[in-house]
Amino acid sequence: MSIDISVVVPLFNEEESLPELAEWIQKVMRENQFTYEIVMVDDGSSDRSWEVIGNLKANHPEVKGIRFRRNYGKSAALNTGFEAVEGNVVITMDADLQDSPDEIPELNRMILEEGFDMVSGWKKKRHDPLSKTIPTKLFNWATRKMSGIYLHDFNCGLKAYRKEVIKSVEVYGEMHRYIPVLAKWAGFKNIGEKVVHHQERKYGVTKFGLERFINGFLDLLSITFVGRFRKKPMHFFGLLGTIIFIVGFLASLWIGIEKIYFLSTGIKARLVTENPFFYLALVCMILGTQLFLAGFLAELISRNSPDRNRYQVRDRI
Domain match, 206 and 285 both? no
Residue 174 has pLDDT above 80, yes or no: no
Contact 117, 161 (CB under 8 A): yes
CB atoms within 10 A of CB 156: 25
Residue 273 lies in a domain: yes
**Mean pLDDT in the chain?**
85
Domains contained in the chain, number: 2
Q: What is the CATH number of the domain that holds 86?
A: 3.90.550.10
DSSP lists the bridge partners of residue 194 as 121
Residue 316 lies in a domain: no
Residue 60 lies in a domain: yes
The closest of 62, 68, 81 to 4, measured between CA atoms, is 62
Contact 251, 282 (CB under 8 A): no
Domain match, 122 and 176 both? yes
For residue 209, the model assigns a pLDDT of 55
Contact 50, 67 (CB under 8 A): yes
Range of the domain at 39: 5-229
Residue 77 lies in a domain: yes
Query: What value does the mean pLDDT take over residues 260-279?
Result: 81
Residue 315 lies in a domain: no
Contact 114, 192 (CB under 8 A): yes
Span of 35-44, 55-64, 147-156, 293-302 with lowest mean pLDDT: 293-302
For residue 259, the model assigns a pLDDT of 83
Place 71 in a pLDDT band, splitting at 50, 70 and 90. very high
